[in-house]
Amino acid sequence: MTRSPSKAEIRNSALLSRDATDPESRIEASLAIAEIGAGSIDIHPGEIVSGFWPIRSEVDVRPLMFRLMEKGARLCLPVVLDRTTIIFRELVRGAPMVDTGFGTAGPGDEAEVLDPDLMLAPLAAFDATGHRIGYGAGHYDRAIARLRDRGKMPRLIGVALDVQEVETVPAEDHDIPLPAILTESGMRRFSVRD
């Protein structure tokens, strides 16, 4: 009987594929993602959009965030408070960026804490059903659960490169599938249940 790969093995394989993508191709993919996202993500003026500061070989969502800001969005970035908790602080042009944990940068303590209406979520791997594998800390799953506990239902869009798609993500009860994943080849929408 063949053993199914673990989440850690799938994560490592997908990240190796992403790391193997040359930097110029990642830049082109990030710009394509910004163009596709700007055309397919509906934003109402004042809506709060959380993005993320790219680390390692991640997609750079800053061009997409800028395009959504042009459509009237308020922007925020995640900040790691401790090993289990992230919050989202407002990103304002000209405000200083500080180390915010997990190798990322973001607004400092003086920035307003916001609850996102739309979350652009980083991921290590995804499958054709909208299941994702993050980096293993569970920050986004817990942040989404906390928002839902307070009655907030943010729209969720994973952002990744096509090479991060895997055959199957082993989903657990606490995993929150994504209704959409944006890659350089388009917006993929999934039927998900809460």
Distance from first CA to last CA of the chain, Å, rounded? Answer: 33
- Running DSSP on this structure, what letter comes out for residue 145? H
CB-based burial, 105-144: b 16+ in 10 Å, e otherwise: bbbeeebeebbbbbbbbbbbbbbeebbbbbbeeebbbebb
| Binding-site annotation: residue ranges for substrate | 58
CA distance 89 to 111: 6
| Binding-site annotation: residue ranges | 7-11, 58, 132-140
CB-based burial, 55-87: b 16+ in 10 Å, e otherwise: eebbbbbbbbbebbbeeebbbbbbbbeeeeebb
- What is the reported pTM? 0.91
At 74, phi and psi to the nearest 5?
A: -90, 140
| Interval 137-183: pLDDT, tens | 778 888 888 899 999 999 999 999 999 999 999 887 767 789 999 99
| Binding-site annotation: residue ranges for ATP | 7-11, 132-140
Instruction: State which CATH number among 3.20.20.70, 1.25.40.10, 3.40.47.10, 3.40.50.10420 fits the domain covering 7-178.
Output: 3.40.50.10420
| Interval 71-101: pLDDT, tens | 999 999 999 887 778 899 999 988 889 987 6
Q: Where are the domains of the chain?
A: 7-178
